[in-house]
Copies of this chain bind each other. A is one copy, B any other.
């Protein structure tokens, strides 16, 4: 199991007239969580893309339990609990506020794809090597 956490602060633009974070903006929070999870492994999602592997989002699911508000300092926890055996990569993602209350929980399914051919692919070798220690 690989768990990563990253923090981000709610921007004014991300609130809506209900005075809370617009639900659609959690897609960006989750995205930042995944990208930083990969960076904390010692890799860069940008480098993965530049070397020919893209990771489009195929499914996105979330439950909104409590609202996030303007200027809240959020913690996004990104968990990879299963080793990806084929082209599928599934993350669990949770957003907490400063009091440690769980605001949003979701799971996101991505596919490894080769950008040149847009065909499904396996996990890139350098990513597998970095992840291996967390799954033994």
- Say whether, besides A13-B16, A35-B71, A58 and B54 are in contact (CB < 8 Å): no
Contacts of A11 in B (CB 8 A): 28, 31-32, 35
Contact between chains at A24 and B22 (CB < 8 Å): no
Contact between chains at A16 and B12 (CB < 8 Å): yes
27 sample A-B contacts, Cβ–Cβ < 8 Å, listed by A number = A9-B32, A11-B28, A12-B17, A12-B22, A12-B35, A13-B22, A13-B27, A13-B28, A15-B17, A16-B16, A17-B17, A17-B19, A17-B20, A17-B70, A22-B27, A24-B25, A24-B28, A24-B31, A27-B27, A44-B71, A46-B70, A46-B71, A56-B67, A59-B63, A60-B62, A60-B64, A61-B62
A7 contacts the other chain (CB 8 A): no
A26-57 CB mask vs B (1 if < 8 Å, else 0) is: 11100110010000000011100000001011
Most chain B Cβ neighbours within 10 Å, of A11, A22, A24, A56: A24
Copies of this chain, tallied across the complex: 4
Contact between chains at A16 and B15 (CB < 8 Å): yes
CA distance A27 to B25 in the complex (A): 9
Task: Write the chain B residue with the least CB distance to A59.
Answer: B63
Known pairs A12-B17, A13-B28, A46-B70 / 13 extra A-B pairs, C-beta < 8 Å: A12-B22, A16-B16, A16-B17, A22-B27, A23-B60, A24-B25, A46-B71, A59-B61, A59-B62, A59-B63, A59-B64, A60-B60, A60-B62
